[in-house]
Structure 1
Amino acid sequence: MKFNLPILLLVFIFSTAYTQENGFKEVQLTDNNSNNRYSSYNKEGTKILFESDRDGRWQIYIMDIDGNGESRVLTSTSNDRRPTWHPFKNMILFESDRSGTNELYTYDIDTKALKMVPIPLEGHKSYAEFFSNGVELIFCLETEKGNKDIYRVHKKGKLLRKLVSNEQKNRYPKASRRGDFVLYTSDKNNTQDTDVIYNYSVLQKSNNKISFFKDDCSDASWPNVTNRLVFSGLIDKEDHTTTEIYTMQTDGSRKLRITYNEQDDSLPHWSPNDINILVTRRMPNGEQIFKILLKEPL
């Protein structure tokens, strides 16, 4: 069966415009024939960091908050992935396979200093993020069985502690502003092969499930000034089959749907003042970065 591309695009544009009437205003920030993902704001909210495979491998890019001024942060022959900002400095943390194994690196944008985080563990390290104190970080370590455990460590490789360990894939850890809780996504204790969001208490060393097994929820992130988490989820599966963006209270209550469209939305990230959300959307030409305007005028 042959499809007419202009007709498909017209249907896509109409369905997107129709469904967005139920949600918030949106701005598309990237638009190219590649995948652009893992977007996040710097502390001032003036720059957006993200990864892109437009050069044939994953590389780290930066752009203005309106999507203009795109430029590559680093140039390498390796895959540099999942960049995140330091909470106080003009520095990023990312993972790279430049040594043959996924290791974690910091890069100071001002001084151009590139350093590997000397973590005394063998195996692929991923999904790294700084704690709010700026001197510690959290990351995932892939085990020999392909599962992922979550660790906390000083940026100099000291004070290594395992936070979450089981026979499942635990990923996308996000520490709270005070460092007392860690959000993460896991498929543990789940017979339906869906992801569930957990909140780990650093002090009590306990796990609290805050999404339901019947839903497929992941990529939860903490707010900066409000008390609402943001996450991607496939909820009400009888009504739609694509993941959308939601917010909820820190205990998992009062879920609010933010996006309404026919594409998968994932990897949400709050702006510094929680007035908009960056998301990754699977479009016909690849994954693209959108800004969802909650309070900010279009």
Structure 2
Amino acid sequence: MNARQRSKRKIFGLSLPQAGLLAAFGVAAFALMGLGGALMIRDSLVGDSLPTLQPTSLLRVAANLAPGPTPFPTAPGGGSGWLGFISDRDGNFEIYVASLDNFATVNLSTDPSWDADPAWAPGLQKIAFASNRDGNFDIWLMNLNGSGQFNLTRSPANDRFPVWSPDGTRIAFQSDYNGNSDIVVVKIFDGVQTNLTNSPTNEFGPAWSPDGSRIAFTSIGSAGGEAFAVNADGSGLVNLTNTLADDLFSAWSPDGSRLTFESDRDGNRELYVAAPDSGGGFGLINLTKDEADDTFSAWSPDGTRIAFTSFRDGNQEIYVMNKDGSEQRRLTDNPAGDWSPSWSPDGQRIAFQSNRDGNQEVYLIRPDGSGLLNLTNNPADDLIYGWQP
């Protein structure tokens, strides 16, 4: 794809082709896929010109983005007092938050449809999420107490997995309006959307660089997967991995100087780190160097450590290592599966997913392995999504 040849669309009054949503059952499913081979993104794909957003629609966007009420207290030392998750405890998947102070849970979405993929807005009292309440999945916004729910994308396609830019002015998400999964960015205050990828392959997992200038993502075609990075305006596309292996799930270091990703280039899934402009491996380091599969990397807020999931003990367990791969240490020890670690903003806790109680629950543990706690503790399935910034 020529990165300068990208499509722009507006969010109201669209007439875009309906297409099947790329099956996405969480990163765990992708991590276990045997994809093999290389990926090429095709050139010379130019998107159509689409209708202009009307002034009345702009006013509606602005009105719904006005600061909303904040029901959640901020934890001492930095807003790590609330954790977002989805749960089917009310008969369908809804968006919840859980308090780390008293373990109370609040259902924010309260709708009979499927609501998922919550993402906290940095610097804005909003949560983005995906909902199929209008017949297909769109990106919605709501206040932190669940009020003011508003359909932002209003597309006949399926839009999923929103991720906020660091300054809270844009959201990257996945959309299938071209018949496959593409990475799209929407500007919150004027509604303009830009398709960053616009290719025949499937792109997923957008991750903003800490300065908001670039987005890393994974691209999977019939031959395999690669990790890419692109400027937030769609220019400067770089294949970061460019191998015959499967390279998936990029995560930025807090200072933006490095990206971790998982790859099977050594015969099993390992965690690697590279410079974001490596274009095929400059400065590439295998961090885990273990015969078992290692997946789901998550940087600590101070950039000194990386939490990850490993199968080296015969099942999925949570590990922590230094950013150079040294001092790898297991935090969990249970015959069930523990995966998908996520650091609290103050670095004092790691949330993770576990089925040790016979269903999906969200657990907390400290980086030294102490303080294990079942946060959700409900017979329904609870799936982790993210911390309050």
| TM-score calculated relative to the size of structure 1 | 0.69
For residues 132 and 184 of structure 1, what CA distance do their matches in structure 2 show? 16
Given the superposition, is the C-alpha separation of residues 46 and 291 from structure 1 closer, same or farther in structure 2, using an over 3 Å criterion? farther
Counterpart of 1:84 in structure 2 is 163
2:178 to 81, 99, 102: 99
What is the aligned-residue identity percentage? 23
Deviations 1:251-290 (A, max 9, x none): 11222333344542332222222223333345888755x2
1:137 to 195, 212, 215: 215
**Is it true that 1:248 corresponds to 2:324 in the alignment?**
no
Counterpart of 2:346 in structure 1 is 273
Counterpart of 1:179 in structure 2 is 256
Deviation of 1:196 (Å): 0.8
Counterpart of 1:294 in structure 2 is 366
- Determine if contact 2:252/2:260 at 8 Å carries over to the other structure: yes
Deviations 1:121-159 (A, max 9, x none): 4421112111122021111222341x1112221111111
For residues 113 and 61 of structure 1, what CA distance do their matches in structure 2 show? 12
1:216-227 matched pairs, under 5 angstroms: 216-227=293-304
1:206-221 matched pairs, under 5 angstroms: 206-221=283-298
Using the TM superposition, name which of 253-262 and 180-189 deviates more.
Answer: 253-262
Deviation of 1:42 (Å): 4.5
Question: Which SS does the other structure have where 1:104 is aligned?
Answer: strand
Question: Which SS does the other structure have where 1:231 is aligned?
Answer: strand
- Determine if contact 1:173/1:183 at 8 Å carries over to the other structure: yes
Counterpart of 1:19 in structure 2 is none
Structure 2: which 5+ residue stretches go unaligned?
Answer: 1-82, 96-115, 376-389
Given the superposition, is the C-alpha separation of residues 249 and 39 from structure 1 closer, same or farther in structure 2, using an over 3 Å criterion? farther
For residues 197 and 214 of structure 1, what CA distance do their matches in structure 2 show? 12
**Is it true that 1:125 corresponds to 2:203 in the alignment?**
yes
2:271 to 197, 213, 231: 197
**Is it true that 1:229 corresponds to 2:306 in the alignment?**
yes
Using the TM superposition, name which of 255-264 and 99-108 deviates more.
Answer: 255-264
Give the aligned residue type for 1:162.
Answer: N
- Determine if contact 2:240/2:277 at 8 Å carries over to the other structure: no
Question: Which SS does the other structure have where 2:230 is aligned?
Answer: strand
Counterpart of 1:115 in structure 2 is 193
| TM-score calculated relative to the size of structure 2 | 0.55
- Determine if contact 2:349/2:366 at 8 Å carries over to the other structure: yes
Counterpart of 1:18 in structure 2 is none
Given the superposition, is the C-alpha separation of residues 253 and 48 from structure 1 closer, same or farther in structure 2, using an over 3 Å criterion? farther
Deviations 1:167-199 (A, max 9, x none): 221110112233221100111121xxx311011
Bigger Rg, structure 1 or 2: 2
Counterpart of 1:31 in structure 2 is 87
Higher strand share: 1
Deviation of 1:163 (Å): 1.3
